[in-house]
Structure 1
Amino acid sequence: MSYEPPRPVRGLLLTPEDKEAPARVHRLRRLGLGERPEPALDAFADHLAQLTGAPYAMVNFIGEQRQFFAGLRVPVFPPVVREDGTSPEVGRVLPRGHGFCPHVVVRRKALVLEDVSDYPRFAGNPVVDEYGIRSYLGAPLLDSSGMALGTVSVSDVAPRAWGKAGLETIKALAADLAVRLERSAEDGLPP
């Protein structure tokens, strides 16, 4: 009898339950976030991509059914080409069950996936097949009440050794951005 290692289960609901989602949506509305692209957050995502060398960077606000990338940086030339010669289009909205940011929000902790194929729970995620995502680094945007509003994250189509420096960088940038977002909302200014 030969041993076969377990394979990722495709289609299994692996997104964690998010009991704070209704309160988060209410808080995001009060802060004026998560409904439209924000040029300042696009600039933040661009800076984050340059800093980490990742092709994708996001400022992501998580709702009850969807995720919205208010800040988004995607490469001009997509790094993934399908067999039919097309490339996947990365938009500003994803279902809540796609990607890894919902895990970061529910856990309220940073998540480092140097190679998603090493983690059966994450290897079957739709972004792996649809966009070719192989590595991820994300940290929660925690407001002053401790609520996770969303995430700051980067991802790549190749495995990446983000290391401790990458983890510390993304956590510090997320903490700084969370303060700035609250301050801007209190002052009635865009982020």
Structure 2
Amino acid sequence: MKAPKFPTNEAERIKAVKSYSIIDTLPESDYDNLTELAATICDVPIALITMLDKERNFFKSHYGISLSESPRDLSFCGHAILENDIFIINDAREDIRFIDNPLLEEQNVVFYAGVPLLDPSGYKLGTICIFDHEPRELNRSQIKALKTLGQQVVNLLELRKKNSYLNLIKGELEERNTQLKSFASLVSHDLKSPLSNIIALTDLLKEDNQGNLSDDSLQYIYYIEDSTTVLKDYIDGILMYYSADELLTSAKEDIKLSDIADDIKHILISNNEQLLFNDAVIKNVNKSALSQILINLVDNALKYNDKEDRIVEIKYELLPTHHKFSVIDNGIGIALNQQEQIFEIFKTIKNDFSKSNTGIGLSTVKNLVEKLNGQISVVSEIGKGSTFSFTIE
């Protein structure tokens, strides 16, 4: 018996094997299906998918045998990875490399055929191989099939590696998102209090100095108030953006559009404003998320409106697979070349209405809509108003 030699690139080959994180993993049906298919096509009792570690031959899949590994110095696969093509031993009892090999007696191994598993970098990770208890030969179709199955094993390994990498990236992103949420919450708490103090103090300053402040001084105070309000809106917007996903965990329920409209009226509508809606029962929706979307859209419709009588209308339509809502206003409108940009986070749009914006609210709305498997769009004309339409499941 002759123990197999190590390939000349053994150190790099071992590194490649480890990169797949496959050694000592549990059986998987995708690999087991391939060994069963190999045994069936070649009409043999045993088929294996093996990965050669430094000192052992690990069986990722073993059909017709209960072993999960064997010593590398006894393995047929150790010889197979030294070849560039399929490695076939028709009768191991007559091959000097395998005479006195314990596998011949213990497992009654006589015939062997193995195809090296070649990764995209050219390293031979292991084999897909078959055994029989008697001498035999493979025909052309069987050899071709075994090579094809070997390529499928490599495809599975590559897919597994990519999925592992994507799961790692996903975990890192989730951790970063959690940290961002925590940071947003901390910042909002720590900054909102002094901002509220600034707003309150500027109000007191104006009240205590009525008639004593010059026009320039009053203008400076207005600048302070406006800047403080913008900063407060940024903080509220960031917190809302990173906490919006929590709304998606709410259970779906049947609701009345009038109930949501009444809530919006209490929060946003003043004397010179109207909120119209077509009352309907909306079945099986996430009320929390829908309410947040509509509140944001109605708030924008009122905020960017220069009419003496501000009118906002909510329309609802049941589609075959989705719920469709439209929020229509008679506000200042949005220029055509800006209508795509308004949904980008932190993208602020200049307007002649002197109303500042943070570029967060509509991005939050879009985020919620898309995570409810819907879409949002806008149609608008300067001076006449806008219609925001969105669908959700």
The bucket for the TM-score relative to the shorter chain is: 0.7 to 0.9
Runs of 4+ in 1 over 4 A off after TM superposition: none
Secondary structure of the 1:180 match is: helix
Distance 1:17 1:28 in 2: 14
Please say if residues 117 and 125 of structure 2, whose CA atoms lie closer than 8 Å, have aligned partners that are also in contact. yes
CA positional deviation for 1:57: 0.5
Number of aligned residue pairs:
164
Name the structure with the higher helix share: 2
Cα gap change, 1:140 to 1:44, in 2 (>3 Å): same
1:22 corresponds to 2:11: yes
Q: Secondary structure at the match of 2:151?
A: helix
Instruction: Return 5+ residue gaps in structure 2 as ranges.
Output: 166-393
Q: Provide the TM-score with structure 2 as the length reference.
A: 0.39
SS in 2 for 1:176: helix
**1:140 to 2:129 alignment:** no
The TM-score, its normalising length taken from structure 1, stands at: 0.77
Matched, 1:53 2:43: yes
1:180 deviates by 2.7
Query: Which of 134, 151, 154 pairs up with 1:175?
Result: 151
Aligned counterparts of 1:70 and 1:21: Cα–Cα separation in 2: 20
The range that moved more, 127-136 or 156-165, is 156-165
1:66 aligns with 2:42: no
Query: Structure 1 residues 123 and 17 mapped into 2: Cα distance closer, same or farther (>3 Å)?
Result: same
Answering whether residue 128 of structure 2 is matched by residue 152 of structure 1, we say yes
Please list, as runs of the form range in 1=range in 2, the aligned pairs for 1:1-191 lying within 5 A after superposition: 12-39=1-28, 40-74=30-64, 90-188=66-164
Contact 1:22 1:63 in 2 (8 A): no
Please tell me whether the aligned partners of residues 41 and 72 of structure 1 are also in contact (alpha carbons under 8 angstroms).
Answer: no
- Could you tell me how far apart the structure 2 residues matched to 1:164 and 1:125 are? 29
CA contact (8 A) 2:31 2:153 kept: no
Q: Give the Cα–Cα distance (whole angstroms) in 1 for the partners of residues 91 and 2 of structure 2.
A: 20
- For 1:177 and 1:19, the matched residues in 2 are separated by 24
Q: Is the contact made by 1:21 and 1:63 (CA closer than 8 Å) also made in structure 2?
A: no
- CA distance in 1 between counterparts of 2:36 and 2:135 reads 20
Contact persistence 2:60–2:68 (CA under 8 A): yes
1:56 CA displacement: 0.6
Report which stretch shifted further, 155-164 or 130-139: 155-164
Runs of at least 5 residues in structure 1 that lack an aligned partner in the other structure: 1-11, 76-89
**Residue in 2 that maps onto 1:85:** none
- Asked whether the equivalents of residues 41 and 142 of structure 2 are also in contact (C-alpha less than 8 Å), the reply is no
1:136-174 residue CA offsets vs partner (Å, 9 max, x unmatched): 111000000110010000001111221332222211211
Whole-angstrom CA distance in 2 between matches of 1:73 and 1:58? 6
Q: Deviation of residue 123 (structure 1)?
A: 3.0
**1: distance between equivalents of 2:63 and 2:164?**
25
Percent identity, aligned pairs only? 23
